[in-house]
Amino acid sequence: MSITTQEQAIFVDLTAALLSVNRWPIEKALAVAERLREHGLMVPQRIASMQVGDVATELQHAGYTKGDFMSALIAERLVKCSQELTPAGLKEISRLEEVGDAASLSAYLQSLPGLGPETARTFVTLRESERS
């Protein structure tokens, strides 16, 4: 399944926000997400269809250097989030950004499995900084 460039940018930033938990620099997280995009992995449906171990391996190959445990943990969160993040969900994220409703956007993100307040906050901040 293909997604729009805007939807892919949302998923790249969401992945970077997820990778940046536990004080991993957002610059490194964005670089890993970009490498994953270059390998065709920044499509939620593709990640959703993969095994957690395979996603963990791809994260490490892309430069995620937090060790096997964290790679597996982040991969599990990314797979679970991807399984729930429908095309309609990507459109909802885009809509909430367009109307500037950061509180509803944060709440929506936290409704996805594996995403907590820190990831939501990082995503919102990242997207706002990209727009300014």
Domains of the chain, with CATH numbers?
5-131 (1.10.340.30)
Q: Tell me which residue has tokens 């970077």.
A: 16
Q: Band the pLDDT of 16: cuts 50, 70, 90.
A: very high
pTM metric for this prediction: 0.93
Q: For residue 54, what are the contacts with CB-CB under 8 A and spacing of at least 6?
A: none
From 116, 99, 132, select the one nearest 14 (Cα to Cα).
116
What mean pLDDT is reported for the chain? 93
CB-neighbour burial class of residue 76 (10 A; exposed 0-12, middle 13-18, buried 19+): middle
Question: Average pLDDT in the 72-77 region?
Answer: 96
